[in-house]
Structure formats: structure tokens, C-alpha cells
Amino acid sequence: MFDIIKDFLIKKGLESSLAEVLSVLSLIILSLITGFALYFIAKRIILKFFAVIAKKSKTKWDDAVVNNKVFNRLALIIPALVLNWFAPSFPSGREWIRRITYSFIIFCVVLAFDKFLNAVNDIYRKYEISKTRPIKGYLQIIKIFVYIVACVIIISVLMDRSPLILLGGIGAATAVLLLIFQNSILGFVAGIQLTENDMVRIGDWIEMPSRNADGDVIDITLHTVKVKNWDKTITTIPTHALISESFKNWRGMSETGGRRIKRCVYIDMTSIRFCNDEMLERFKKIRYIEDYINGKIDEISEYNKALGVDDNSSVVNGRHLTNIGTFRAYVTAYLKNHPKIHKELISMVRQLAPADKGIPVEIYCFTSTTAWVDYESIQSDVFDHILAVVPEFDLRIYQGPSGHDLSDAVTAIQNKKDFG
């Protein structure tokens, strides 16, 4: 074909040297146009045809193969095959064209095999056994081995040498290479693990106290991961440190659409008591717990009646409502009806073990937003309300005595002595 184009240009009046250059350029352009045209035809028509067939079939394997784009990687071989077909037409460099195209074909096959292993893992994860015996780690080892073998073969093809000779030379220099490229190898392996296990992405909020990092990931390279902290400083972390050390990734919070509130209100234990009739009548006027109070009164009345406990008996006998239990019921109902508390995530109010600061009543729920400013505003509003309603249940918030409290106490004692 080269000679045909060259003769045609010479007949048009061009010099032999110029005609030769233009013939080479024409061959290159023609081979590229043909290769990519066939590639796009395969991608737009043939691959879509496979995708339609996969969706209609009852098996899951073909869906996984299509979803992981195995055939898309194989389609990249088409331009290389076209270029290899045109190689004999070039006046020089035929051997190098063949070597490059063969190397590219090997690379595409390895990429397709990589995606195929991903499809295998996707199918395996749909079985119950995958929860106890995952195979992802084994597939990663296979991938690493295949990539190493492919690199050796590609280099041997480009150098036109036997792979065995190349492996022998590499074996002799392994110790030196490991020493020189230690950090690069660690970073490379860590990068593969981070990517394959989806541990960190750009934009994730991570927290790593050992490295004083608390902010968004802005860059991931072979050797380092950059984190932009909330105070606008930048923390640079070695990539392998994210594998060898623990860190917290807040991505799950963002994906679920809710951010956790976990905070305690400490109740003074001396303010806890059984509810009398006056308190119950007062609590019935609270909209959120009106039905709760009426239901509990009927339930407790039937229970005490079955035990033979009457109203004149000691409060120690039978069951009775307490102000702290009613307070917990109110806060639970308040959170349930709060428009900015996530309704699909867990929400509860629980009593923790008594301590020297009183009885902790923990509020555990999730906001309906993950934005930091909005989250803090919602949390503050919730506790503003809770702290304000505590006295309505004849309870007291525990608070350690301050200097002002001690001063008032001393003054009161002194006044008592003076007027005593």
C-alpha cells in the first residue's frame, strides 16, 4: 500500500523524498482512522448488543461481565490489530510497530482479565458464604501476579528477548531494587489496597489522631495522601500509613444522610421520685405524652389490682410511674416528632449507670442532615429544649458547685450565726 500511495503522489508531480514522507503520514492516518472507526463501531453496536442480551438472559454471570466492562477492555485490541495489519506497508520500523502492538494487546488482555475477576467477586458476594469466606484478597493476589507476569512479557517483547533471560537479570538485581524503591513499593502496594478495598476516596472526611489529621482528603498519590484539616492546614500522610495504622472514615455518615447525636443530660439523683396524682394530671397536659400517661395509668392500675395493691398502700408496693421515666418518654416522643431528626435511623433515650455526677440520661439519634453547621444548630436546639423542660418534671440538672455557689453558702451560714 505504501508503494501505491507513493507512486500516486509522484505521478501528481511530487518529489520522491516528499512523496515518501507523505506516504508514511497517510498510512499512519489511515491506520488510526480505520482502527478507531472499528473500535467505535464495536463499542456502540456490538457491545450494546451484548448488553441487551445480558439483561434479557436469566443468568447472572453475563450481567456481571457487562457491568464490569470486560468487553470494553477487549475492544481496545481492535486499533492495535489494525495497526499491526498495516505494519508490512511501512517502509521501515515494521518490527517496532509489531512489538508495540503486541505489547498493547497483552496489556488490554490483562485489563480485561482484571475486570473479569471483579465480575467473579461480584457474583460470589451474592452468595451467603461470601459473608464468612470472602475471596477478594485472593483475587487481589492473582491480579498482582498477573500484572507482574504481563510486565515481564511486555518488556521481553519490546526488547526481543526471552522472558527467562529477563527474569534472570531481575533476580540478580532484586535486592538492590527493593532497597532503592522501598518507599515506592510500599506506596504502590498500599495504593492498590486502598483502591481495591475502597478505603479512601478524594473528598472523604477522615480522622487519624496519630497523624493529627482531621478533614477532607484532597489528593492521593503513590507516596502520600493529603488531608485538608478543618483549620485549613494540610496534613501529608504516607500512603502505607493508612494500611498499617487505624483511621476513621466518615463517608458512611454522608452516604446514609444522617449524623449522630450522642450526648448525656445528668440528672440529680435526689430529685427522682414517684409521680403523685397532681404530677400525673400536670403531665397529661403535655401533648406528646398524653396518650402515654393514660395508657400507663391503666396498665399499672390493672397490674397493682392483680397483686392486691390498693391506693392506700405504700408506694414501695406495686408499680408506679416515676418522674425520670416520664421524662425519658417525653424526650423519646419529642425526638420522634422533631422534623430534623432522621426517622429511618435509630433514635432512643436511655439511662446509663449512676455516677458521681448523677444519673446520665443519654440522647442517641441522628439528624436528617450531615452538614456540620446545620448539625450543630439542630443539636443545640434539641438540648436547649431538653434542658429547659427538665424542671417541668420536678427534676434537677446536676451541676458541680461553682465559686459563686460556695460564696453564697458561706454567706448563708454566716447570716444564720449572726441572727441565731
Domain limits, CATH 2.30.30.60, in the chain: 200-249
Residue 6 pLDDT > 60: no
What value does the mean pLDDT take over residues 130-159? 79
Cα 103 to chain centroid distance, Å, stands at 36
Residue 323 pLDDT > 70: yes
pLDDT class of 2 with cuts at 50, 70, 90: very low
CA pair distance 332, 292, nearest whole angstrom: 11
The reported pLDDT for the residue numbered 289 is: 93
Top mean-pLDDT range of 28-32, 117-121, 135-139, 265-269: 265-269
Sign of the dihedral through C-alpha 331, 334, 336, 341: negative
Burial class (CB in 10 A: 0-12, 13-18, 19+), 404: exposed
Let me know: does 335 contact 382? Beta carbons within 8 Å. yes
Cα end-to-end span (Å), the chain: 124
Cell numbers at 208, concatenated: 487519624
Q: What is the pLDDT of residues 82-99, one digit of tens each?
A: 776 766 666 565 677 788
How high is the mean pLDDT of the chain? 81
Residue linked to cell 467473579: 120
Residue 415 pLDDT > 80: no
Pairing mode of beta strands 359-367, 205-208:
unpaired
Cell numbers at 125, concatenated: 458476594
Q: Higher pLDDT residue, 170 or 420? A: 170
What value does the mean pLDDT take over residues 356-376? 93
- Angle separating helix axes 290-307 and 323-337, nearest 10 degrees: 140
Q: How many CB atoms lie within 10 A of CB 237?
A: 21
The reported pLDDT for the residue numbered 419 is: 62
Residue 326 pLDDT > 80: yes
- Cβ neighbours for 276, distance < 8 A, ≥ 6 positions apart: none
Dihedral angle at the C-alpha atoms of 119, 123, 124, 126, nearest 10 degrees? 140
What value does the mean pLDDT take over residues 277-281? 92
- Find residue 260's DSSP bridge partners: 366
Q: What is the pLDDT of residues 332-357, one digit of tens each?
A: 999 999 999 999 999 999 999 998 88
Domain 200-249 in this protein, CATH class? mainly beta
Listed range (8-12, 99-103, 187-191, 346-350) with the worst mean pLDDT: 8-12
What value does the mean pLDDT take over residues 181-204? 78
3-state class of 216 per DSSP? Answer: strand
- Find residue 261's DSSP bridge partners: 365
- Cβ neighbours for 354, distance < 8 A, ≥ 6 positions apart: 269
Alpha helices in 216-309 (DSSP H): 241-244, 251-256, 277-283, 290-307
